[in-house]
Amino acid sequence: MQLPKFIQDKPVREALILGLTGLCIWIVAIEIDLHESIDKFLHAHETWQLDEAFTAINIIGICSLIYAYRRITDLKHEIARRNQAERNIDWLAHHDTLTLLPNRRALEKRDHKAKADTPSVIYCIDLDGFKNVNDLVGHQGGDLLLKEVAHRLKTMLPSAQAYRLGGDEFLVIADRTPATDCMRLGHRILRLLSAPYDVGGMTSEIGASIGFALYPEDSADFSDAIHCADVAMYVAKKSGRNGVFGFERIMEDRVLRRAETEMALKRAIRSDSIVPYYQPLIDLRTGDIRGFEALARWEAGPNHIIPPSDFIALAEDAGLIVELSERLLKAACRDAVNWPPETILAFNISPLQLSDKQMPLRIMNVLLETGFPAHRLELEITETALVRDMDSAGAILGELQAAGIKIALDDFGTGYSSLSQLSKFRFDKIKIDRSFVTGFETDKKREDIVRAILGLGQGLGISTTAEGIEENHQLDFLKSVGCDFGQGYLFGKPVSGEDTRRLLARHARPNKNAGTDAA
């Protein structure tokens, strides 16, 4: 027979046993006149001082009760303190200590409580430009900005629940009615977050990419609805800074395809399926091959070559550009180390790599591993890469040039402030963008620009290379105005490492024969 549930509790059970025991003793004492019997015994044995002993026992008992009461009170206070500590730990586990907003764990708990009869809109917010602010004003300033973002969200939407999911990503869940314009509300949030911030006495500005989803219309599962908002935010971020996008099912397909492409790109990088092809750089005065520019090609299958324009941006977005660039440079140096000793290797550097302070060390490690001389390596940097962080870029370029590596300013004339870059940095070469070369024959202004760039290079003592030479009349003009080097389909398309070796062998053979005849 099972005991009642309340009796199964040990403290209750022990209290019942003690109470019943006391009751039984009391009944027995009544039956035998226990107190009178004890009094008679004490009087009969007065010399034993037993009555004083009983008095002492009673006093000790009363003191014990007082002591027990004080200990029970202390125990209650300790239990209260522990409960408060547990509540604090629970709060810390479910809240962001910087912004005091609930965190991702709190959001996961909310999932189970969500009900389909309370329609809501979920905004997933990713701050744009926060890293730049963080780099400019330091982590303390970045923390102040994040706290202000949280304050703005709570002030604007007091009835909504805002979460900080980590880093510069926030999420807002707001109840809605049929009259709620979710797109308009999203733009209000965007304008609010894009307003200037006072961070430690400095005015800073950021943007935001916002995606939203409707619950339960977009998904009856609350966790999946949050995922839908995140997908919309991802699309907003890829479309450009400061955008608001509502979730559409087609977005999920695009994100899935992109994820699959990223995985394929990662596999291609790890399997060295992306290899360098080489396009010749020609000395326009002599017609000799001065060097080669390494250009990435994804060999996706037999006769299936994917150009860099289809995957370099994806590699940058996916955080794979550093690994890809390092592997390509290593492969290119291994090929180039067997070229004639005066032949240079030109290699493009991604703008993102100029923010990596370890880049000079990575490049020097590649040169040491492959045995390729530093003075034969020419790194091509775009103007766009320089303006991201001029101080960091200047320090990195200085380290590279100190090691003997040459630096070329690529796509000259198409960036932010070409003359400004030439005044702030030291370059070994400037490359005239193909847009000026291919259009100067029909546009007198472009011809004048080409002349001006070449004159600037000659005045500064910097060699010049013209890209995109495809016609003989372009070559003749560039030679006549003093361009040093040329590159384009007129001289050759990018070819594999094996074809490059054959091309060098063909160019070396006439020179060798000429030397034999002269002898």
Q: Are 101 and 162 in contact (CB under 8 A)?
A: yes
From 506, 447, 515, select the one nearest 476 (Cα to Cα).
Answer: 447
Residues 489 and 353 in one domain: yes
The whole model's pTM is what? Answer: 0.60
Look up tokens 């409960």; give the residue: 83
Which DSSP symbol is given to 48?
G
Residue 62 maps to a domain: no
Residues 241 and 265 in one domain: no
Judged on CB neighbours under 10 Å (0-12, 13-18, 19+), 45 is exposed
% the chain with pLDDT above 70:
90
pLDDT of residue 37: 76
pLDDT of residue 371: 95
Residues 275 and 369 in one domain: yes
Gyration radius (Cα) of the chain, Å = 40
Domain limits for position 126: 104-247
| Count of the separate structural domains present in the chain | 2
Residues whose CB is less than 8 angstroms from the CB of residue 325 and which lie 6 or more positions away in sequence, other chains included: 349, 350, 353
Say how far apart CA 436 and CA 432 lie, in whole Å: 7
489, pLDDT greater than 60? yes
Residues 343 and 487 in one domain: yes
CATH number at residue 156: 3.30.70.270
pLDDT per position as a tens digit, 222-270: 888 998 999 999 888 888 767 899 998 888 777 777 778 889 999 999 9
pLDDT per position as a tens digit, 436-465: 888 777 778 888 888 888 888 888 889 999
The CB density around residue 221, as the number of other CB atoms within 10 Å, is: 15
10-14, 258-262, 474-478, 513-517 — which is least confidently predicted?
513-517
Here the tokens at position 221 are: 């599962």
Which DSSP symbol is given to 2?
P
Q: What is the pLDDT confidence band of residue 518, given thresholds at 50, 70 and 90?
A: very low
Residues whose CB is less than 8 angstroms from the CB of residue 402 and which lie 6 or more positions away in sequence, other chains included: none
pLDDT of residue 156: 94
Helix (H) or strand (E) run with residue 169 in it = strand 169-175
115, pLDDT greater than 70? no
Residue 28 maps to a domain: no
Residues 448 and 482 in one domain: yes
Residues 428 and 503 in one domain: yes
Residues 414 and 484 in one domain: yes
Residues 242 and 268 in one domain: no
pLDDT of residue 510: 55
